[in-house]
């Protein structure tokens, strides 16, 4: 898994430099649903301390799976890879809210994962592995705040999917800043700011503004998102120079999320997400 993670690691341009800058002005942590093998590869690539990460732990070598079961798992993998991909409607609350095809796929996936694999030797992983997502991400934020003897109002949280919603709500309700970075509609609806960008520089800019000047100033910067507004913001000139050099004519899109624009922003950000991350990854919740 370590080799697979290292071979398939994909980094957004400037992410290493952005994180290095943020770490010079504030304690910085990665909270991810990804398996630790991927996060360790990521940390090596961007020179980030693994001790400052929260991720899903998995000791796959402890499981002994027969050759027959391995073949069965490969069959399931092929079946799943051939299933049609569908978008989950934003209004969907139950299975009946899905299309006929989506219901069929969802039902079959349930059978594979929660009935068939669950009764195999490999199914023991379900009991042992606790994915870091949803409430676990919110718990990670609480742990970080306690460790630093800080306050949630001093937290800026950047996320992009449904697994970030509970952490978003925790931070936002306690006065911190929440940023959807190329997020789907779940992220957009629970964020203060929406950023659509093919580099990480804007997140570094808002992190700098938030740490140095507070949430109000960061939101004011989003309201005045322009070359002049940025030049007058007091944010790192180095970051701004990188931004202006990369975007000589048009800046990445930044908006404060409101009840009036969140649906439109959600659709636009989801489309942008798919383009940047690829159709398959972009569809992930």
3-state secondary structure 17-85: HHHHHHHHHCCCCEEEEEEHHHHHHHHHHHCCCHHHEEEECCCHHHCCCCHHHHHHHHHHHHHHHCCCC
* Least confident span in 88-92, 144-148, 155-159, 176-180: 88-92
Burial class (CB in 10 A: 0-12, 13-18, 19+), 95: exposed
- Return all residues near 110 (Cβ < 8 A) that are at least 6 apart: none
Residue range 133-282 forms a domain whose CATH class is alpha beta
The reported pLDDT for the residue numbered 91 is 79
CA atoms of 150 and 198, how far apart (whole Å): 32
Query: Between residues 45 and 58, which one has the greater pLDDT?
Result: 45
Burial class (CB in 10 A: 0-12, 13-18, 19+), 193: buried
The phi and psi torsions of 53 (rounded to 5 degrees) equal -125, 155
Q: Is the pLDDT of residue 133 over 90?
A: no
Task: Identify the DSSP state of 149.
Answer: T
Task: Identify the DSSP state of 97.
Answer: G
The phi and psi torsions of 176 (rounded to 5 degrees) equal -80, 180
* Least confident span in 70-84, 218-232, 242-256, 265-279: 265-279
Q: Where are the domains of the chain?
A: 62-128, 133-282
CA atoms of 71 and 62, how far apart (whole Å): 19
pLDDT in tens, 149-208: 999 999 999 999 999 999 999 999 999 999 999 999 999 999 999 999 999 999 999 999
Task: Identify the DSSP state of 123.
Answer: G
The reported pLDDT for the residue numbered 92 is 80
CA atoms within 13 A on the CB side of 263: 5
Q: Is the pLDDT of residue 284 over 50?
A: no
Confidence band, pLDDT 50/70/90 cuts, at residue 81: very high
Q: What is the mean pLDDT of the chain?
A: 91
Matching residue, tokens 């009935």? 115
The reported pLDDT for the residue numbered 8 is 81
Tokens encoding 2:
């370590």
* Least confident span in 30-34, 142-146, 281-285: 281-285
- Return all residues near 70 (Cβ < 8 A) that are at least 6 apart: none
Confidence band, pLDDT 50/70/90 cuts, at residue 144: very high
This prediction has a pTM of: 0.84
Q: Is the pLDDT of residue 71 over 50?
A: yes
* Least confident span in 120-129, 139-148, 174-183: 120-129
CA atoms of 155 and 218, how far apart (whole Å): 13
The phi and psi torsions of 33 (rounded to 5 degrees) equal -75, -15
Say how many residues make up the chain.
Answer: 285
Q: Is the pLDDT of residue 72 over 50?
A: yes
Tokens encoding 89:
């409607």
């Amino acid at each position: 898994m370590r080799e697979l993670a290292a071979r398939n690691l994909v980094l957004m341009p400037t992410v290493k430099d952005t994180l290095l800058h943020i770490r010079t002005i504030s304690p910085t942590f990665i909270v991810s649903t990804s398996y630790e093998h991927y996060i360790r590869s990521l940390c090596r690539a961007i020179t980030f301390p693994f001790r400052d990460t929260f991720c899903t732990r998995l000791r796959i070598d402890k499981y002994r799976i027969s050759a027959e079961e391995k073949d069965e798992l490969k069959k399931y993998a092929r079946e799943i890879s051939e299933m049609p991909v569908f978008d989950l409607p934003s209004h969907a609350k139950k299975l009946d809210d899905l299309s006929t095809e989506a219901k069929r796929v969802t039902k079959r996936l349930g059978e594979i994962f929660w009935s068939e694999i669950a009764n195999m030797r490999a199914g023991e992983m379900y009991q042992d592995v606790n994915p870091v997502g949803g409430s676990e991400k919110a718990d990670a934020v609480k742990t970080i705040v306690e460790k630093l003897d800080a306050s949630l109002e001093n937290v800026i949280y950047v996320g992009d999917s449904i697994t970030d919603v509970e952490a978003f709500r925790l931070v936002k309700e306690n006065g911190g800043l929440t940023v959807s970075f190329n997020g789907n509609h779940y992220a957009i609806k629970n964020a203060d700011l929406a950023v659509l960008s093919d580099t990480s520089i804007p997140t570094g800019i808002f992190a700098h503004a938030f740490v140095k000047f507070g949430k109000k100033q960061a939101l004011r910067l989003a309201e005045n998102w322009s070359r002049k507004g940025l030049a007058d913001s007091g944010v790192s000139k180095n970051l701004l120079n990188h931004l202006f050099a990369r975007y000589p004519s048009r800046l990445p899109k930044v908006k404060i999320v409101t009840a009036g624009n969140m649906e439109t922003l959600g659709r636009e950000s989801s489309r942008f997400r798919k383009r940047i991350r690829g159709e398959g990854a972009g569809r992930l919740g």
